[in-house]
Amino acid sequence: MWQSIKPSHRNLRVWQLGLLAVIFVLWHVITKPGLIPPIVFENDQQAAFFFGEPLKVFGRIWAWFFTQADIYQHLWVTLLETVLAFGIGTALGLGLGLWLALSPLAAAIADPYIKAANSMPRVILAPIFAVWFGLGIASKVALGVTLVFFIVFFNVYQGVKEVSPVVLANARMLGASHRQLLRHVYLPSATSWVFSSLHTSVGLAFVGAVVGEYLGSSRGVGYLILQAEGAFDINTVMAGILVLTVFALGLDAIVGRLERRLMKLQPKSGETEKL
Amino acid sequence: MSQRPVTESPPALQLRGVACTFVAKDDPGQRYTAVRDVALTVGAGEFVSVVGPTGCGKSTLLNVAAGLLAPSTGTVDVFGQALAGINTRAGYMFQAESLMPWRTARQNVMAGLEFRGATDAGTQADEWLRRVGLGGFGDRYPHQLSGGMRKRVSLAQTLVLDPDIILMDEPFSALDIQTRQLMENEVLDLWAQKKKAVLFITHDLDEAIAMSDRVVCLSAGPGARPIGEFAIDLARPRDVAEVRATPRFIELHQAIWSVLRDEVLKGYQQQLAA
């Protein structure tokens, strides 16, 4: 009996789901008023007030997606902010990274400023962006861009610095002009480094969007959480967090798929095709 | 070395009084002279090999001829004209991996033609891939090819541009002996068809004698310089594997080795001491 349910690589999923079920059951048992006598709190309502109740949380999610079906516009806004922040941040990081890596003097001048801007906790810029760009999606995109930009920038900078000198010399011997070197050697090399940081930069774009919404907005999943928090509606806050988590996991899966497609030309050792 | 009359058509490549001194970036007091007093001539259509102990500055010399490296002193003439910047009449086959990993074999062969704005890059690339025996491998990326195949792609990439001078830096040193002899014969065949000037760098004396019209020996570094030059009068066309067994080959080998042996030992001692 034990042999068949012992954790192994075969029943990994079952154990993972089992763990999830245990967490939810535990959550339910602890927070359901009247189920067990209060140990920590003074009365049996308080646990539910602080931690929410899983059944109500799922009811909330069900209402969002099916009965009221009003979460889709918020999800759409958050997704749009994430994608825009990722796109603009990547483009800026790629451009500036290429430029600074190829002109050492400009890089030397900009160096302290880049270090300062990178070490600054950039979330603190959110209020300024709200003033500049208003409470719409622009301020969230701006915050996401500041987060994504540095990841991409440093990767591109590194990527250009580490272009194989032999490949570079070979391209020059083949007659590549400066512009062609940029287009055919530096850019592809830098892009492969951007791909390698795809997970991190998409994740940070998402963080920028949600944090921006949470700090002040009129739409988005972060806004839902902010609203619920104002009304001490802990169940809705928990529901929002769960939705965001699943959303982030989905985003990560899409990136993973995209990455596998784009990284085809990267060598993978120890992998053979099964015939 | 051999003085040619001025009236004759100028040599493909002529190095005069070339010296290369490298200065350490973080410590300007640290200097290293790789080569000095180098005079080297490669006639049009001539196959010249340079042999020498490891680390004697053979590759430095080739980079000077390619225009990738400006000599500290001395001049480089290409078909009678002083070289400034990249040597556009030369093709360079590197010792290390030089293919662009993000391009397929075909795209790699096409690269030089694209840079020059050629319109029939695709057909020419296919033609050359066939010629180096990789007709069916055009859509593979470099990491999907074996070391020998990658060298063939490099060869096609260089030769598709039809350069007047071909510079080769130990192009086959990473290959196993069988593949290597195959490639050497292929290069000789291709060379025989077009008769380009070739400057071939190698540490393998057998390879140098089997392939060249002339072998130049370099002394051990630092400050390596040519210390001997031998005309190879073996009949062509040659098969690099068979020619090694001929008496004349062995004679030449002994003659050159007697010059080279002391330098190789010197170079080895220096490496041990360092």
- Statement to judge: residues A193 and A135 lie in one domain: yes
| Mutation target vs B (from A170, A187, A195, A263; most B CBs, 10 A cutoff) | A170
Which of A166, A172, A184 lies closest to B86 in CB terms?
Answer: A172
Quick one: pLDDT band at residue A118, thresholds 50, 70, 90?
A: confident
Is A111 part of any domain? yes
Per-residue pLDDT for A266 more than 60?
A: no
Q: Do you know the residue count of chain B?
A: 274
Quick one: pLDDT band at residue A265, thresholds 50, 70, 90?
A: low
- Statement to judge: residues A35 and A128 lie in one domain: no
CB atoms within 10 A of CB A185: 22
CB atoms within 10 A of CB B207: 21
- Statement to judge: residues A108 and A226 lie in one domain: yes
Q: Tell me: the pLDDT tens digits for B12-24?
A: 999 999 999 888 8
- Statement to judge: residues A42 and A163 lie in one domain: no
Which of A166, A185, A265 lies closest to B94 in CB terms?
Answer: A166
- Statement to judge: residues A147 and A105 lie in one domain: yes
- Domains delineated in chain B: 1-89+165-174+191-274 (3.40.50.300), 95-162 (no CATH)
- Statement to judge: residues A36 and A81 lie in one domain: no
Among chain A residues, CA nearest to B109: A174
Which of A184, A264, A265 lies closest to B111 in CB terms?
Answer: A184
Q: Tell me: the pLDDT tens digits for A91-108?
A: 999 999 999 988 889 999
- Statement to judge: residues A140 and A231 lie in one domain: yes
Paired tokens of A18:
């089992």
| DSSP symbol at A128 | H
- Statement to judge: residues A168 and A136 lie in one domain: yes
Q: Which of A140, A154, A156, A151 is nearest to A85 (CA)?
A: A140
Cα–Cα dist B111/B91, whole Å: 13
Give the domain range for residue A200: 72-260
* Cα distances (Å, whole numbers) of residue B154 to A101, A160, B74, B134: 28, 23, 30, 12
Paired tokens of B225:
């310089």
Count of domains for chain A: 2
Per-residue pLDDT for B175 more than 90?
A: no
Residue A81's pLDDT is what?
94
B17 conformational bin, left if phi > 0, alpha if psi -120 to 50, beta if neither: left
Is A272 part of any domain? no
- Using an 8 Å CB-CB cutoff, list chain B residues near A264: 141
Is A274 part of any domain? no
Is A97 part of any domain? yes
B225 conformational bin, left if phi > 0, alpha if psi -120 to 50, beta if neither: beta
Decide: helix, strand or coil at residue A39: coil
Q: What is the mean pLDDT of residues A208-226?
A: 90
Residue B1's pLDDT is what?
46
- Statement to judge: residues A110 and A45 lie in one domain: no
- What's the mean pLDDT when you consider all of chain A? 87
Tokens 């130049």 belong to residue: B216
Is A270 part of any domain? no
**Global pTM?**
0.77
- Statement to judge: residues A86 and A156 lie in one domain: yes
Q: What is the mean pLDDT of residues A15-43?
A: 86
Q: What are the residues of chain B with a beta carbon less than 8 Å away from any beta carbon of chain A?
A: 66, 68, 86-88, 90-92, 94, 96-102, 111-112, 114-116, 141, 143, 157, 161
- Statement to judge: residues A79 and A125 lie in one domain: yes
Is A56 part of any domain? no
- Statement to judge: residues A197 and A145 lie in one domain: yes
Is A83 part of any domain? yes
